[in-house]
Each structure stands twice: as structure tokens, then as C-alpha cells.
Structure 1
Amino acid sequence: MSLSASVDWAVILSLIFGGCCSNAWALEKSAAQNRNAGTLITLAQFVIVTLVGLPKHLCFKTRDTTTSYSSFSVRHLLSSPSSVLKIRLKPRAIPISRWMVQVILFLLTSLLNNAAFKYRVPMTVHIIFRSAGLVTNLLLGWAWAGKRYTRLQVLSVLLVTLGVALTTISTRPRTSPTTSSIQDEHIQRDYAIGVSILTGALILSSAMGLSQDKTYSQYGRGHWEEGMFYLHFLSLPMFAPLLPDIQEQVQILNASPPLDVLGYMPREFKRFSAPSIPIFWVPVIINVVTQLVCVSGVHRLTAKVSSLTVTLVTAVRKAVSLVLSVVVFGGGRGDGWLWMGSSLVFIGTLLYTADGTRRVPESSKSKGLKQE
């Protein structure tokens, strides 16, 4: 049992750190090539997760039997040639009404996070904002669920808030002597809009987390595959109003220069012909594939542990992504204020999580304090 648990945790952490860090890099590259492709990327991510998860949630029903996709074969049809085959979704462990609220919040969060790249918001700010969920979690938990928090948790949230502010200020676009005042004003306005979009996405993400935590607490935490599938599957019809923008982005990506695949291969392979692919599609495809890996790990983790542990693991993952984005892929060392703000965010997250794992003293309980 210990070996099985260790293997399970190794798989989860590999999916999260490998998939999510690679996904952040691919998203940064995609945004650098085409800042307006956020909606297309979001749709592609939702489609691939839905297609991969669909077989596990299908069953085939004949007149006499109901068979799951995994055990269905041609012999079921041959044994009952007169029966009528019906394909339907398996019964859900969690009512569809409980998923719909999370679906809307999840879709809006994903669209807003990817749309922020359009407004000159760098990946470092994306990472920091996605690490600042403690702030909105505390406020929404207090206002919505009536939760109480300890002084250390409140202090931790203040540290995170200060860290986000420092990071946002340190990475704002600088004025340039080569640009006009109107251009500088336009750049600053875009950055402010992008930060506002990320703030809205942060609030929606925290609301979704609270709703998801409440659902798993009521129906059990063993339904991560169902959650991952329905959050993506039920969101697909909501992309219909966005189809004109998506078609435009597809045309832009198709018009990019073709990638010379054979140029990276040994000489003996260059005599073969290879299909060309527009170069803008490469990071998009990598992003979509790694998104599948990333969300699989996060949903597995959410189904195994409490939201506090999920917060801790994802905070460490985002710290790794930040270092990779600035130092490894960015080729720089980063601004001092950036690292100070980032440190405050992650220290606050660690303090908050550590305090959440402690039992509240009896004296605190008598005063009405309650752990999240």
C-alpha cells in the first residue's frame, strides 16, 4: 500500500510540475507570436480534454444490456443483431446542476486568463496573480461561506497582497524616449486593462474553488475524472458566440511561415518529403497537449487532498514556473522588486497553508475562530 501511494504521488507531482511548467512556457511562446489567440487556445484546450475523457463516460445500451465503452466490442452487436444500439453518457455521481455553476466560472476564468496576454501583461504577472488566490479565497470564504480565519492567516494574506502589488508595479511597461506620449499612454492603459482582467479571473477562480470544494465535500473526492470531463465538455457550446474571433485567429496562424521540420533532422532523412506546418501552430499544439497533462494532475490532486494542500503544491509549482520564465527561458535575472514581491507571495502562501494544517486551540474555538 505504501508503494502504491508513493507511485500515485509521484505520478501526480510529475503531471503537475512537468505538464504545468511546460504549459506555461508554451503559452508564453504562443502569446509572444500572437497576442490575440487566447480564445482559440482556450477552445483547443477544452476540446482535447473533452475528447480524451469522453470514452470513459460513454456507455452503449441495447434492448437487453448496458455496456461501458471499455468493455464494449463488436460481439455485443453480433449477439443481439435485432437490438437497437444507443450511445449515452454514464450516470453521474454528482448532479449536473452542481457542475453548471463551476462550468461557467471555469470557462470565464480560462478565457480571461488567456485574454490578458492581449494587453501586454507578461507571464511573470500571470504567474503571480494565479498564486494570489489566498486573497480572494479569504474574502470570499468570509463573505460567502461565513468562515473565520486566524491572525496568522490574515497576516499571510496581507503579505501575498503586498507581494502582488510590488510585482505588478515592477513589471509595468516603462516609458521610452523613442515613443510618443500617446503611445506610452496607450501601452500603460493596455497594461492596466490586462491587470484588471487578471484580477477578475482571480476572483472567479476562487469562487470556483470554493464551489468545487463544497461539492467534493458533499459527494466525495473520488470523482476527479468526472469533474475534469464535465467542466470542459459542458463549456463547449458557450464558445458559439466567439466563433468569428476563433476563425480569424485560425487564419492568422495558418498564414504564418511553414516550419522546416527536415532542417532539424539528420541528412539521411532529408530526402523524404514531410508535411509542412505553420510555425505559429507549434507552441499552440504543445500548449494544448501539456494542458491535458497539467489538468489531469491538478484534478487528481484535488480529489486526494484538501484545498489547503492543493494551494501549497500549486504555489510551489508556480514558483518553479516563475524561475523558468525569468531566468531560464527569459535569459535574464529579473528586477529586485520582482523577486521581493514574488518571495512575499510564496512566503505568505506557505505560512497560510502551514497554519491551516494546525488544529485550532480550544480557546480559539470558543471565540468562534474556524479553520478553512
Structure 2
Amino acid sequence: MTPYAFFAIGMVMVGCCSNVVFLELLIKYDQGAGNLVTFGQFLFIAVEGFIFALDFGRKKPVIPIKQYMILVAFFFTVSVTNNYCFYFDIPMPLHMIFRAGSLIANMILGVILLKKQYKFSKYISVFMISAGIFLCTLLSAQDVNISGTDEDDTSVSYKYLTWATGLGLLMFALFLSARMGIYQEVLYSKYGKHPREALFFSHALPLVGFLFVGKDIVHHGAILSQSAPVTVYGDITIPVMWAYLLGNVITQYVCIRGVFILTTECPSLVVTLVVTLRKFVSLVFSIWFFQNPFTIGHWCGTFLVFSGVLLFTETLQKARTVIFGQTKDVKKVD
């Protein structure tokens, strides 16, 4: 691999993993800050893309804007739905594990919409991922029950209803994200791949949609402003949560740019390995740093999920091929 590829791997690991830390710091302070965080990320990436990807608007898009509008509708809805999950007592580890089940949703919709066929090992891997998510979900449900043992039945029932609603939102976002992926696949097969252009429009066009949640963004911005001040330079101070928000926005950009560079510098095997490792490291660090409840059963579920991901993408088989000298790249399964 080239030095630029190693630099990209560093960007992905540092950017994506630290991004999760900043996000959880923000969510622990204010569960409803998700839309504000997403707006900050979208605005930053849109401004950067307008300057560098579109050359201040002088470069015309290759893919028609109307096609991007559909893609943006998917992307915006998925992002907002995932944010609202935190309103319904969905813990961060479960949120991360559940989203690792995107392979399941993609396979189901691929069979239904694109009439795809998969090898038997693919179905086994999907079963492993499903079992892992089910186990972690079941254990999280028990956590809800334990937390309400000293309360009346009405309060416990309300907690279950709240948790079930959040789980339903996660399921909806999961399948909608898979549908978006299929739409992207069809779009790129027709017009070619233009990731920098797509990155800009997928973040710039949804900015209008944030007008519908403008009051929510302003409200939670005011909540963050009430956090303790932190010194940034000399006598200049800002609320610490705004510093965390800035850190989240910057690390999100580093993460996305790192993935983009990696896809242009490395075979899909390396990209798959790095992204999978990043998810696992983020999960483990989140559990350790924030002392989230995680039992042996949760670890078994996590093992099933990530083992299933590795089996689905045939990472171990591809690694064996590369190690023994065959460098032909194999198309990555998202």
C-alpha cells in the first residue's frame, strides 16, 4: 500500500472512532441534540464540497439534480430517524450494533427488488448477524425491565413502549438505508461513480429540510450553550458542549474523507477490513470509556454480528488469497 493509503486508514480510524466519542458525550448531556449535530455535519461538508468539489458552483454536476433529490430524501429521512431513536432510551452500543445489521436489510431488498441470488454462506452470515442483533436486543429489553422493578406496572409498561418505539424507528431507518443503497447502486450504474459530487449534494440539498426542525435545533443549541465554559485560547471561552460539537463535525469530515481516499487507493478488501475494524473499535471503546452496561451475552451477540459481517464479505478468504500472492481485487459487498 502507498503512504497515502496508510494516511487514509489513520483518518478513518481516528476520525470515525473519535466521532463516536464526541457524539456520545453530546447525547449523554442532551438526548435531543441529534438534529443539531447532523445539521452541523451537513453544513460543514456542504460548504467544503461547494468550494472544492464544485469549484464554487462553476463545475456542473454529472448526475442530474432530480436524481439527487430522491437520494437526498432517503438520506435525510434516515439521518433524522436515527437521531430520534435517542429520545426513546436506545443505548449507544445497541444503536451501533443494530446498524451493523444493514447487510440483512440489503440482502432482503436485493432479493425482492433486484432479484439477486446469493451463495449459501451469505445466508449463514445473515443468520449470524440476525441472531447477534436479536440477542443484544433481548438483553437490552431485560435491562429496561430491571431498571423498572421498583416502579409500578404503568411506569414499567411505559418504559417498554418507549423502548419498543425506538426499536421500531431503528428498524425503519435500517431498511430505508438499505433502499437508499440500492437506489445508489442503480444510479451509479447508469451515470458512473462520482463520490465527491454525491457527497456534496447528499449534504447540501437536505439543508433545506432542516427548516422543518429549525425550532428543535435552536432549542437544543440553547441547551448546549448552558454547559460549563472551556478555554479555547487565552481569555476566550466557549461552552464545552459546543467544543464537543465542533469536534464531532470535524471528525465526521475526517472520517468520510478517509473512506473516500481509501476507496481510491486500496482494494475493496482493505476498505472492508478497515471499516469493520473501525466499527468494532468504536463499540469497545464506547463500552469501556462510558461504562455502558455490557454483559457476556452482549459480547456473544457482538461476536456473532461482526463474525457474520466478515463471513458475508468473505474477508478471511480474500485475505488468504492476497497473502498467498494473488492481488486481483474482488468487488466489495456493502
> Which whole-Å CA distance do the structure 2 matches of 1:188 and 1:137 have between them?
28
Residue 184 of structure 2, aligned match among 212, 227, 230: 212
* Counterpart among 14, 33, 36 of residue 37 in structure 1: 33
Pick the aligned partner of 1:278 from 217, 239, 258: 239
Corresponding residue to 1:334 among 284, 290, 294: 294
Give 1:21 deviation, angstroms: 0.7
Structure 1 position 350 matched with structure 2 position 310: yes
CA distance in 2, matches of 1:353, 1:37: 34
Measured in 2, the distance between the counterparts of 1:145 and 1:247 equals 42
- C-alpha deviations, 1:168-193, integer Å up to 9, x for none? 11223233444333332222222111
Moved more, 307-316 or 112-121: 307-316
**C-alpha contact 1:258 1:278 (8 A) present in aligned 2:** yes
Q: Which runs of 5+ in 2 are unaligned?
A: 319-331
Query: Compared with structure 1, are the counterparts of its residues 197 and 354 closer, same or farther at alpha carbon in structure 2 (3 Å cutoff)?
Result: same
Distance apart, 1:26 and its partner CA: 0.9
How big is the alpha-carbon RMSD for the aligned residues of Structure 1 and Structure 2? 2.6
Q: CA deviation at 1:305?
A: 7.3
- Are the equivalent residues in 2 in contact too, given 1:153–1:355 (CA < 8 A)? no
SS at 1:276 equivalent: strand
**Equivalent in the alignment of 2:102:** 133
Change (3 A) 1:55 1:107: same
User: Structure 2 vs 1, CA of residues 95 and 13 (structure 1 numbering), >3 Å: closer, same or farther?
Assistant: same
* Per-residue deviation, residues 208-236 of structure 1 (Å, max 9, x unmatched): 22222333333333x22111111101111
Distance 1:189 1:250, change over 3 A: same
Give the direction of change, closer, same or farther, for the CA distance of 1:136–1:100 in structure 2 (3 Å limit).
Answer: same
Letter in 2 for 1:353: T
- TM score, norm. by length of structure 1: 0.78
Q: 1:312 to 1:230 in 2, by over 3 A?
A: same
The aligned counterpart of 1:258 is 229
C-alpha change, 1:213 and 1:316, in structure 2 (3 Å) is: farther
Distance 2:134 2:255 in 1: 28
Q: Structure 2 vs 1, CA of residues 89 and 232 (structure 1 numbering), >3 Å: closer, same or farther?
A: farther
Q: How does 1:156-171 map to 2 (within 5 A)?
A: 156-171=125-140
C-alpha contact (below 8 Å) 1:312/1:353 kept by paired residues: no
For structure 1, list consecutive stretches of 5 or more residues without a partner in the other structure: 60-68, 70-87, 263-271, 359-370
**CA–CA distance in structure 2, aligned partners of residues 196 and 304 of structure 1:** 38
TM-score after normalising by structure 2: 0.86
* Rounded Cα–Cα distance in structure 2 between residues aligned with 1:306 and 1:203: 27
Residue 332 of structure 1: how far off its partner (Å)? 6.4
- Contact 1:50–1:232 under 8 Å retained in 2: yes
Aligned to 1:91: 60
Query: How many Å separate the matches in 1 of 2:54 and 2:279?
Result: 35
Q: What residue number does 1:53 align with?
A: 49
Q: Does 1:288 align with 2:249?
A: yes
**Letter paired with 1:21:** C
Range with greater deviation from structure 2 (10-19 or 340-349)? 10-19
1:148 corresponds, among 94, 114, 117, to 117
Structure 1 residue corresponding to 2:258, chosen from 288, 297, 317: 297
1:229 matched residue in structure 2:
200
Which structure ranks higher in relative contact order (CA pairs < 8 Å, sequence separation ≥ 6)? 2
Q: Which one has a larger percent helix, Structure 1 or Structure 2?
A: 2
CA distance in 2, matches of 1:184, 1:293: 42
Report the structure number with the largest CA radius of gyration.
Answer: 1
Residue 93 of structure 1 deviates from its aligned partner by: 2.3
The 1-side partners of 2:80 and 2:292 are apart by 29
Partner of 1:325: 286
2:283 is matched by which residue type in structure 1? L
Question: 1-side partners of 2:167 and 2:155: how far apart?
Answer: 19
Go from structure 1 to structure 2 and tell me whether the alpha carbon gap of 1:278 and 1:131 turns closer, same or farther (over 3 Å shift). Answer: same
